[in-house]
């Protein structure tokens, strides 16, 4: 296994774990012993994007683009000391979207940065409630937020071209707080601490209620979601019956992280990661650490952890990591 500590702020290469592709089932630590803010993590076809609260040991907080192998770091945004990142990242064909708090955390800025690299631009200012969930349509960015007195939880839609804002959804008394967002087929999907909603031009539908929704993904015309008390499900994005793909073990340690790559479903069942295929589950990672996000693609599953196993410290120290596992041998 390759484990490398980063030492510079912007453009640092990581030692590779060999010149060949990893063997199937191999686990690699790509970013290790860093204050990774693991709820901000995403991958695309070439890069991974994440946030680090102290990349250089002097409190430099950056949004970073790196290769999916962990090298070639490029800074895409920076926070001043004492400011906070939000939860979640989103991107479209050209830009990465992320949130960070302003002075004394009285507001959060919704920022966009070219994925190719360049200075960030503040697209809109949001209330000082903690952001949760982010997604995009062709014309808008959607940013969720938790409730904070006196404001209820809501989703704000921001026009990409003009920065104009509108409230796309606002929670009622029994709707819970936003935790995850996804968009497809003219529908905004909102997972909250209580239910899963579909906001369509024809109106609002409740897909399921009574259990927290932790993560949403769109693949091949289906919405995949994790329901904390039960497992991982999918349902057509245009509406229809739901199908349970995985049932959680009867434990209280539930985080809801999962990701889909073709026929492979990767599920966090702390302390393990499982690969589920054709209804059969196998353990592929024995100890994930305190995992926040899983992102699967092209035969790999990446994950971000606030505290990685055997790290030298606890939460909010140089204990976070980003790792990946290659698809197991069949």
pLDDT digits (tens, 9 = 90+) for 119-163: 999 999 999 999 999 999 999 999 999 999 999 999 999 999 999
What φ, ψ does residue 103 adopt, rounded to 5°? Answer: -60, 130
Reported as a single tens digit per residue, the pLDDT across 253-292 is 667 999 999 999 999 999 999 999 998 999 999 999 999 9
Reported as a single tens digit per residue, the pLDDT across 179-196 is 999 999 999 999 999 999
CA 11 distance to own-chain centroid: 23
Residue 23 is predicted with a pLDDT of 67
Structure tokens at 56: 């250089």
Domain ranges of the chain: 27-326
Averaged pLDDT, 285-305: 95
Q: How far apart are CA 9 and CA 262, in angstroms?
A: 35
Q: How far apart are CA 94 and CA 290, in angstroms?
A: 31
Whether 136 and 142 have beta carbons less than 8 Å apart is answered as yes
Residue 253 is predicted with a pLDDT of 67
Q: Is the pLDDT of residue 241 over 80?
A: yes
Whether 204 and 158 have beta carbons less than 8 Å apart is answered as no
pLDDT-derived band at 18 (thresholds 50, 70, 90) equals: very low
What's the predicted TM-score (pTM) here? 0.91
Q: What is the DSSP secondary structure assignment for residue 300, as one 8-state letter? A: E
pLDDT-derived band at 47 (thresholds 50, 70, 90) equals: very high
Query: How much of the chain, in percent, has pLDDT values that exceed 90?
Result: 82
Q: Is the pLDDT of residue 19 over 70?
A: no
Q: Find the radius of gyration of the CA atoms of the chain.
A: 19
β-strands 195-200, 165-170 pairing: unpaired
Residues β-bridged to residue 126 = 108
Structure tokens at 69: 């192998």
Residue 9 is predicted with a pLDDT of 31
Q: Sheet with 107-114: list strands edge to edge.
A: 90-91, 95-101, 107-114, 121-127
Averaged pLDDT, 52-63: 93
Whether 149 and 136 have beta carbons less than 8 Å apart is answered as no
Q: Is the pLDDT of residue 113 over 50?
A: yes
Residues β-bridged to residue 324 = 28, 302
Reported as a single tens digit per residue, the pLDDT across 195-220 is 999 999 999 999 999 999 999 999 99
H or E element, residue 23: none
Buried b / exposed e over 49-76, threshold 16 CB at 10 Å, is: bbbbbbbeeeebbbbbbbebbbeebbbb
Buried b / exposed e over 119-143, threshold 16 CB at 10 Å, is: ebeebbebebbbbbbbbbeeebbbb
For 207, residues 6+ apart whose C-beta sits below 8 A from its C-beta are: 189, 195, 196, 197, 198, 223, 225, 235, 242
Angle at 234 between CA 233 and CA 240, to 5 degrees: 125
Q: Is the pLDDT of residue 167 over 60?
A: yes
Please give the CATH number for the structural domain made up of 27-326: 2.120.10.30
Q: Is the pLDDT of residue 22 over 80?
A: no
Peptide bond into 137 cis (omega under 30): no
For 174, residues 6+ apart whose C-beta sits below 8 A from its C-beta are: 194
Q: How far apart are CA 143 and CA 135, in angstroms?
A: 7
Q: How far apart are CA 165 and CA 153, in angstroms?
A: 16
Q: Is the pLDDT of residue 312 over 90?
A: no
Q: How far apart are CA 210 and CA 212, in angstroms?
A: 7
Residue 105 is predicted with a pLDDT of 78
Q: Is the pLDDT of residue 11 over 70?
A: no
Q: Mean of the per-residue pLDDT values for the chain?
A: 90
């Amino acid at each position: 296994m390759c484990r490398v500590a980063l030492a510079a702020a912007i453009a640092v290469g990581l030692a590779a774990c060999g010149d060949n592709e990893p063997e199937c089932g191999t686990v690699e630590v790509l970013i290790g012993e860093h204050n990774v803010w693991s709820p901000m993590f995403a991958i695309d076809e070439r890069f991974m994007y994440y946030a680090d609260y102290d990349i250089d040991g002097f409190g430099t907080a950056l949004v970073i683009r790196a290769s999916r192998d962990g090298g070639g770091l490029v800074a895409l945004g920076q926070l001043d000391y004492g400011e906070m990142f939000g939860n979640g990242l989103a991107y479209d064909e050209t830009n990465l979207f992320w949130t960070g708090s302003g002075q004394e955390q009285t507001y959060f800025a919704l920022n966009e940065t070219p994925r190719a690299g360049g200075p960030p631009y503040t697209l809109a200012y949001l209330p000082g409630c903690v952001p949760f969930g982010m997604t995009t349509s062709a014309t808008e960015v959607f940013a969720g937020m938790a409730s904070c007195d006196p404001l209820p939880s809501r989703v704000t839609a921001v026009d990409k071209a003009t920065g104009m804002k509108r409230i796309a959804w606002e929670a009622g008394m029994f709707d819970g707080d936003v935790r995850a967002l996804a968009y497809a087929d003219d529908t905004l999907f909102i997972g909250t601490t209580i239910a899963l909603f579909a906001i369509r031009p024809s109106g609002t539908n409740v897909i399921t209620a009574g259990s927290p929704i932790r993560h949403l993904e769109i693949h091949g015309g289906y919405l995949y979601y994790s329901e904390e008390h039960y497992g991982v499900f999918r349902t057509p994005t245009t509406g229809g019956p739901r199908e349970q793909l995985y049932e959680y073990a009867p434990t209280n340690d539930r985080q809801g992280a999962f990701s889909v790559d073709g026929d492979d479903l990767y599920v966090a069942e702390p302390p393990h990661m499982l690969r589920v295929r054709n209804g059969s589950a196998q353990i592929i990672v024995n100890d994930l650490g305190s995992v926040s996000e899983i992102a699967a693609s092209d035969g790999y599953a990446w994950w971000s952890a606030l505290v990685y196993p055997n790290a030298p410290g606890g939460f909010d120290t140089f204990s976070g990591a980003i790792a990946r596992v290659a698809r197991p041998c069949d």
